[in-house]
Structure 1
Amino acid sequence: MSFTFISLFYLGLSLGQEMEVYNERLSKPHLQALTTPVVAPGGDVTLQCSLPPQSYPQKVTFFLQKLQNTELLQSKTGEWTKTDFLLFFLRPQDTGKYHCMYQEITGSYRVSEPSETLTLWVTEALPKPFLTATSSQLVVSGTNVTLFCWGPIRGVGFALYKEGEESFVGIRESTQDGDEFLLTHVNINHTGNYSCRYDVGLDSNVTTTPSDLLELTLLSQQDISFQHISKTKVSRYIWITLRHLVILFFLFLFLAFLCNHHT
């Protein structure tokens, strides 16, 4: 059943229900994918629209809509706090941003603000993300290091893997910019090659490509001391070189002055 928002109001009028239009809209609901927002072509997905937190069951009509589409995809009426919208046999062109709304069916017939958008991806494969260390890949024993995984696909979580281990190191839910994986009290067991990939679930038919490997190396106290000495030597060499250049510059000016005075 498909309506535009304007047709919904006219439908209420045709049933002889007097409606009052208020400028103040109801609080926005929440839209989420019950499994993953990434699905292979021909697959199905369930999107759940929920009333704002701490809402009690009330008789409302929920609407699901795709952005840049004037018609509603589905609508459901009942005395609920949430409802599920099932989308079947999805095609690549179904990829896009979706939101949901709800409307009171008694009293003022107010319509809610739209929910935050949820991006649905209908694809056979996701591109590889990127994995970086927020500070350095060279880590001092006993300290913490944060690995940051990010990519062009929004709204999908990430899983972190270590080369040579069968299971993942950790899974993070989706964020706007990417996901951070914190490794605490790093020791020799943390060294090795790491990669990350999008987390679409074990039962998904969507292919996920891992990121390029990032090697985590542990620094010993001898390495730290050597680096400190090396940096000190380099700084001293630079200082001596600059001092000599300054002396040569003033010597050149003095010789130029003598030549000019003699002339």
Structure 2
Amino acid sequence: MIALLVSFLLLWGFTLGPVAEAAVFFDTRPSLSAKSESQLEPWTNITLTCKAQLVTMDFELLKDGTSQELVHLHSPTIKHQFLLTGDIWGLYRCRSGLSNDGWTELSNLVEVTGPKSLPSPWLSTEPVSWITPGLNATLVCHGGLQGVTFLLRRKGDDAFLEVAKAGEDVEATFLVHKAGDYSCTYRTHAAGTPSDPSAPVTIKELAAPPPPALNVDRESAGILRPGDKATLVCVAPLSGVEFQLRQGEKELPVPRSSSNPDRTYFHLEALAPRDSRPYYTCRYRLWNQQSAWSEDSKPAELIVSNEQLPAPELLAQPASRSPEPGALVRLRCLGPLVGMRFALVREDAGGRRVHRVLSPAGTEATFELRNVSVADSANYSCVYVDPEPPFSGSVPSASVELQVEGPPPRPRLRALWSGAVTPGRDAVLRCEGLVPDVTFELLRVGDTKPLERLHAIHPSADLTLTYVGPQHAGNYSCRYRSWWPNRFESELSDPVQLLVAGA
């Protein structure tokens, strides 16, 4: 029998970033781990255990992207063991049955390879990859074989070595107090040769935590009137922190609410014209009062106008209601006073919202819409506000309508790999467009139903074919679309060919 060894590659990570709304989500994916009859010879008599999140009678083991063994039990259980026999080299995942005759998503990945060099574990940070006064980082080394011992090292520090036994989840946790480049390995027994190291993880030391993001809530994104309410959303890169809203150097003790532990909503009541300036910022810190405040967020701005100043004039260049796709359109807002703050307002099916704000030296602000497409179709107007007392604002200008015909620019699809994809690995394709805040779709050439779909704020997205098998070989294209506020769909990109090794 050919000698074999098991290692674990965890394929999901910790994602941070703003989302529109918090949602309750229960992860039904099972976990997959390996157990050997002997830690001295971990490549013999290997059993894979698929542990479900909910009791079930159905389990499936997959190898190299294709079904290997399907099991229907006589009574519900939480886990099932698969004994590997024959030619067992490969990349394994499992899934468990759901009550509606469906299946969960695939488990983590377990790799079975030869014993000459132990495959690498995977090292991740929780919750962040930096340390500050009062906040340490946690490193988690993930492995797939039960009973191994993990070793953590810091680059350039021969004296540093942390050792931990794998827990029930075949991973070990290390608390990190110093900055540096860390990697981890594992060994199956005390005299055993350690595995290849994980990819390095860099822990940075910062004087203050990095800034949060502060945004104006969609309902407050238009031109506001004195007495209106407004909501600002502050999102931190980690959960369970204390937030603070500021205006200049002054803290604003306003009412707040939260639907997610990484963010808070600041509710401003009865706005006055002066609330257009100065800008708002937010920051956060751990609930420990001794910890440092983060850096301030980028400023967010509210535009409040009492409409006591005369309306400006908005002109479009070229002066066409239907500019050519890809053209540069300049929207010139002309006011009667110098030193004003000008806001371009966009109005479409999604409502009225401030599109851009400028502070020109003279009496005219020029807003540029580059590479216009159907996504820019809307009615535009502008206002100006005085940033100095008494903080008056203007009546809105007359609207300028833009209707750009035809589909948006065609995207480009790129493969983020070279050569043929190894069965059982993921294939990532990057779809690059020119329009932000759209939904990207990956399609197999000749099919109409998308295989993958992802909404992205930026004008590109990485679309992943998970756990590729021989059945995935073929040509793929991508497109992007929007259902709101403007409905449009791009043409398909040129195709990219996916080759699967051995197929």
* TM-score bin (small chain): 0.3 to 0.5
Larger Rg: 1
Structure 1-normalised TM-score? 0.45
Higher helix fraction (1 or 2): 1
Higher strand fraction (1 or 2): 2
Structure 2-normalised TM-score? 0.25
